[in-house]
């Protein structure tokens, strides 16, 4: 009778060990894949915030614009401004600058 009682306990311990080992193996496979997917699909790349802190238009047609980059991890290599004159014509001016996070840049037309 003692062997039968021990067999039940041993089989229960084996089942528990198999479940625990399976959980550890699955966690070591699935969790790194989820972390990698989270890094690749980060929403920060879509929420980069730029703020125009100061803009001046001079009589000769030039402009001075101060832009501050707030938060976000996107790489900004160029910024474009659209200017509209009195006749309704629009002019595009692009400046190739690297904007670092929480920095202010002055851009001239």
pTM score, whole prediction:
0.45
Asked if 32 and 82 sit in the same domain, the reply is no
**Total tally of structural domains belonging to the chain:** 2
Over residues 42-53, mean pLDDT: 71
pLDDT tens digits, residue range 27-39? Answer: 999 888 888 877 7
Asked if 53 and 64 sit in the same domain, the reply is yes
Range of the domain at 103: 44-108
Integer CA distances (angstroms), 68 to 32, 46, 55, 80, 97, in order: 36, 17, 12, 14, 12
Asked if 6 and 51 sit in the same domain, the reply is no
Does the structure show a pLDDT above 70 at 19? yes
- Residue 51: name the closest of 34, 33, 65 by CA: 65
Report how far residue 53's alpha carbon sits from residue 104's, in angstroms, rounded to the nearest whole number: 9
The values of phi and psi at residue 11, to 5°, are -65, -40
Asked if 50 and 36 sit in the same domain, the reply is no
pLDDT tens digits, residue range 59-94? Answer: 887 888 888 887 777 777 788 888 888 888 888 887
Asked if 51 and 104 sit in the same domain, the reply is yes
Greater confidence (17 vs 37) lies with: 17
Asked if 37 and 52 sit in the same domain, the reply is no
Asked if 62 and 22 sit in the same domain, the reply is no
């Amino acid at each position: 009778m003692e062997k039968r009682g021990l067999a039940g306990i041993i089989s229960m311990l084996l089942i528990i060990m198999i479940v625990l080992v399976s959980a550890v193996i699955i966690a070591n496979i699935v969790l790194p894949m989820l972390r990698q997917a989270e890094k690749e699909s980060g929403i920060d790349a879509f929420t980069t915030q730029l703020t125009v802190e100061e803009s001046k238009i001079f009589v000769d047609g030039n402009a001075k614009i101060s832009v501050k980059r707030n938060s976000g991890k996107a790489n900004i290599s160029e910024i474009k401004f659209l200017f509209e004159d009195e006749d309704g014509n629009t002019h595009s001016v692009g400046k190739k600058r690297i904007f670092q996070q929480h920095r202010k840049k002055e851009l001239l037309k």
